[in-house]
Amino acid sequence: MKRLTALLGVFALVCGLGLVCAPKADAAIEIKIAGMKPEGEPETISMHKFGEHLEKLSNGKYKVKVFPNSILGKEDSYIAQTRKGIIQMCATGTQTSALHPAMAMLETPMLFDSYAHARRAMDGGKTFQLINEGFPEKSNLRTMNAFPLGFRHFYTKKPLKSVADLKGLRMRVPNIPLYIRFAKECGISGQAMPFAEVHGALDQGIIDGGDSPLADIVSKKMYEITPEITLTGHILVIHSLYINKDFYDKLPDNEKKWFDEAARLAADYVWTEMEKIDKESEKTILANKGHITTPDKAFRDHMVKAAEQTWNLFRETVPNCQQILDSAAALR
């Protein structure tokens, strides 16, 4: 009995010193979020910002672990993991259109004139709401926000001085029907290939150029091979943070507000920073002997007409397509 009492005394003393303790009842709940972009890019910045804000709003109850650069697999893999609840969240773009065709309209060609215009449509606007109608029920995902990765612009070996310069131009395009169709309507010979193959294809003369946001053109140093950058801004690449619907629906109302606010603040940061990122990218391109051209009205009108032809793809698959187009147009 004396021995037991002594052991209990030692245990109490050790616990009092903090050397042994029971698991904390208030230990942080880990939220896993996966994405495809490397560190430093807008998508990954958004995920980190979301984590910072959620931890602060929840007073440490939730802690976000970010898995960037396709660590948890390619987009279709980590989207599936999020839908099943294996992880709670992910970041992606129009890949979700495989589940709900309207999501492809986030990147409708020539839909937005500027970041300000797009933000009015996406930041809680009607366009964003219309695109997401029915999506949670089909996918078991909830779209938490929308933020830009940048407008796509042409990068080519030779300058594009007029519409005539587009005819037969061999341009790399993502292997996405919308992008392929848009290139065709512009008069471009679209060559579908992974971005990883672009440098080699340019060196071998297989293609004459491609299109990407300015930040990507800089990060991949495309200006070294294709120094002519034409500011077409024909497609705004938009990504979102998504959360497993079952997980979100089970949250208490006050905690849903934490997640919603953290997502809003994360998107706000990217919208605000994106124009700064573009300006810095332009400076880098010019400092490295690249050339930047703004197309004239005839060139832009040609691209708008080409874009409108691609909108027929949406009319075939998205019941509320015209409502979405009209809502964006009304915000110009």
259 neighbors 53 (Cβ within 8 angstroms): no
pLDDT digit string, tens, across residues 103-129 = 999 999 999 999 999 999 998 789 999
- One-letter amino acid identity for 275? E
Domain assignment present for 3: no
Domain assignment present for 237: yes
pLDDT values of the chain reduced to their tens digit, one per residue, 332 residues: 444 444 444 444 444 444 333 334 468 999 999 999 999 889 999 999 999 999 999 999 999 999 999 999 999 999 999 999 999 999 999 999 999 999 999 999 999 999 999 999 998 789 999 999 999 999 999 999 999 999 999 999 999 999 999 999 999 999 888 999 999 999 999 999 998 899 999 999 999 999 999 999 998 899 999 999 999 999 999 999 999 999 999 999 999 999 999 999 999 999 999 999 999 999 999 999 999 999 999 999 999 999 999 999 999 999 999 999 999 999 99
What lies within 8 Å, CB to CB, of 191 at 6+ separation is 170, 171, 172, 173, 201, 206, 207
Domain assignment present for 11: no
72 neighbors 35 (Cβ within 8 angstroms): no
**CA within 13 Å, CB half, 259:** 24
Q: What is the DSSP letter of 303?
A: H
**Helix locations, 38-100, DSSP H:** 42-57, 75-84
238 neighbors 145 (Cβ within 8 angstroms): no
pLDDT digit string, tens, across residues 268-310 = 999 999 999 999 999 999 999 999 999 999 999 999 999 999 9
Q: pTM for the whole thing?
A: 0.89
The two three-digit tokens of residue 64, written as one number: 């976000």
What lies within 8 Å, CB to CB, of 251 at 6+ separation is 259
Domain assignment present for 268: yes
CATH of the domain at 194: 3.40.190.170
CA distance 44 to 90: 10
Residue 105, H or E segment: none
Characterise 74 by phi-psi region: left (phi > 0), alpha (psi -120 to 50), beta (else). beta
**Count of domains forming the chain:** 1
| Domain extent at residue 188 | 20-329
Please state the φ and ψ torsions of residue 262, each to the nearest 5 degrees.
-60, -40
Domain assignment present for 139: yes
β-partners of residue 242 are 90, 143
Domain assignment present for 201: yes
Domain assignment present for 10: no
- Of 183, 195, 290, 199, nearest in space to 232 by CA: 183
Domain assignment present for 156: yes
pLDDT digit string, tens, across residues 81-97 = 999 999 999 999 999 99
